[in-house]
Structure 1
Amino acid sequence: MKSIFIETDTLESQLKAKDFLRPFFEIQCFSINLNSITQQTDSMSKRYFKKKIEEFKKQTQKDNFFYLIHEKDKWILLDEEQNSLMIDFDEDHLNYRRKSAGKNDLLLKAIGKKSENILDVSCGLGIDSVFLLGQGFTVESFERNPLVYFLLEQAKTSSSRNEIKSWPIYFLDSQSDSFDEIVKQKNFDVIYFDPMFPEKKKTALSKQEMQLFKNLVGSDEDAIEILKRLLMYGKKVVVKRPLRSEYLLEKPKMTFEGNSIRFEVY
């Protein structure tokens, strides 16, 4: 079981993280240092993080762990290599304010003009889900990584955007019985699937954020099995793939291709 060190500015935030993440990680909690991280310069913050990570390595004799910090409604995640990631739906550094490319927008073309209700079964950092919400679609999302789900929910709670606050995010994967229940009970027009693959290049993440995210979630090695299950529901399925990659299954009904990615429609 992987270790996670949680440093927070309030007992409430500490308990919130500890209670949810306890089944998935070995957890140690700390009260945050009096030197406010968000009030420090970038160089000071980096030195603080570096020092703490070195302390954790010595303390645990482990080279593989996560470090989760909470201060002033912000959650920051770091790994043992000091790569960092923060989800903030009100900011735009992860492209959460992306505008539509109009009639040339590949994702919107793949989803289709007549679609209204979208199920995103691989939410990840929520970039595509948030974009679709901003375009007026009704979106519900699944995320199966507990730490990613936790960060999504906390960012959703602190967001000032109305479409984000009312956005349903579920912690489950395609193998869950609840997955079947939700898909069958609700009238989704499109199921959207964006599996994580090592060769995926086009991303809104920086190299540091991408490295941490890959370290956290790994590759979706079961992507083929997931797609097979999605097709059993008899609904339109849109899959996002790197442009040069092979099809997961048989050739789709249609594709929409960009410079580095394509959307496959089944």
Structure 2
Amino acid sequence: MPDPGRQNEKLVIDFIGGAVGFRFRAGEGRGQPLARAVGFKGSVVPSIVDATAGMGRDAFFLASLGASVTLIERSSEVHAALAEAMVRAAAHSEDLAVITGRMTLIHGDSRLLLPELAPEVVLVDPMHPERTKSALVKKQMRDLRDIVGADPDARELMAVALASATRRVVLKWPLRAAPIDGLRKPSHQILGKTTRYDVFVTGT
């Protein structure tokens, strides 16, 4: 449930500085686990729908690699913060304007939109199970959780994504967390330091 105690606070998303800006300036590339999971390989540049846009970090990273990324966000507050962040980034530099130019932001429910979009690749990053040590969760992510709450419909979203994606669905999930109940076994997994990417191939 959203936290009423932070109603007067405004979520700010930054694609220029901070972790996102560092990731861009550091030149992280196609060898990263997320890029491999969504299907970057050789000259292949996938078209991606980020069905749970959230802070937009993954979408920005994938767009920086050349992918066209559609971000879907159902929270009006988070959607507004994303829109503002994209405008600021585009105004900041030509390089960032090129990246945000590959990003299309939609306000809505992915469960309803995915069948209409018929995406090539779908990235699903539901709100993860809370860690036992709250200090491990950065403040910005705690703020996001306060706004959007939990994602009890993650399995339903995955079912829609699997039925809609023409090539693959990628579920971003904590490395050691239990699988989502009722979800079929992934085609393969790509492991990061704290995150795993469960890849479900849906077509060639």
TM-score range, shorter chain: 0.7 to 0.9
Question: Which of 245, 253, 260 is equivalent to 2:177?
Answer: 245
Distance 1:256 1:172, change over 3 A: same
2:122 aligned counterpart, secondary structure:
strand
The two structures have a TM-score, normalised by structure 2, of 0.79
Runs (4+) off by over 3 Å: none
Give, in angstroms, the shift of residue 207 of structure 1.
2.7
Give, in angstroms, the shift of residue 166 of structure 1.
5.0
Structure 2: runs of 5 or more not aligned? none
Q: Give RMSD over aligned pairs.
A: 2.4
The match for 1:108 is: 35
The match for 2:65 is: 135
The match for 2:151 is: 220
For residues 8-87 of structure 1, the aligned pairs below 5 Å read 64-68=5-9, 77=10, 85-87=11-13
Question: Which of 189, 195, 200 is equivalent to 1:255?
Answer: 189
Whole-Å separation in 2 of the counterparts to 1:134 and 1:197: 25
Distance 1:231 1:256, change over 3 A: same
Give, in angstroms, the shift of residue 180 of structure 1.
2.6
Point out the structure with max Rg over C-alpha: 1
Give, in angstroms, the shift of residue 115 of structure 1.
4.0
Distance 1:234 1:108, change over 3 A: closer
Give, in angstroms, the shift of residue 179 of structure 1.
3.8
Question: Which of 80, 83, 92 is equivalent to 1:153?
Answer: 83
Aligned length: 181
Structure 1: runs of 5 or more not aligned? 4-62, 69-76, 78-84
Q: Is the 8 A contact 1:106 1:263 kept in 2?
A: yes
Distance 1:144 1:158, change over 3 A: same
Q: Is the 8 A contact 2:50 2:69 kept in 1?
A: yes
Give, in angstroms, the shift of residue 95 of structure 1.
2.2
Q: Is the 8 A contact 2:170 2:199 kept in 1?
A: yes
* Bigger relative contact order (CA 8 A; separation at least 6): 2
Give, in angstroms, the shift of residue 124 of structure 1.
0.3
Give, in angstroms, the shift of residue 64 of structure 1.
2.8
How many percent identity over aligned positions? 30
Whole-Å separation in 2 of the counterparts to 1:199 and 1:133: 28
Question: Which of 167, 179, 198 is equivalent to 1:264?
Answer: 198
Q: Is the 8 A contact 1:115 1:189 kept in 2?
A: no
Amino acid at match of 2:192: G
Q: Which has the higher helix share?
A: 2
For residues 159-174 of structure 1, the aligned pairs below 5 Å read 159=89, 160=92, 161-162=96-97, 163-174=99-110
Give, in angstroms, the shift of residue 65 of structure 1.
4.1
1:211 lines up with 2:142 in the alignment: yes
Report Cα offsets for 1:90-144 as digits up to 9, x if no partner.
22x13244132553x1111111213421111010010000000111111111001
Give, in angstroms, the shift of residue 206 of structure 1.
6.6
The match for 1:37 is: none
Amino acid at match of 1:199: E
Q: Is the 8 A contact 1:172 1:179 kept in 2?
A: no
1:195 lines up with 2:123 in the alignment: no
Q: Which has the higher strand share?
A: 1
Whole-Å separation in 2 of the counterparts to 1:171 and 1:96: 24
Whole-Å separation in 2 of the counterparts to 1:166 and 1:134: 8
1:221 aligned counterpart, secondary structure:
coil
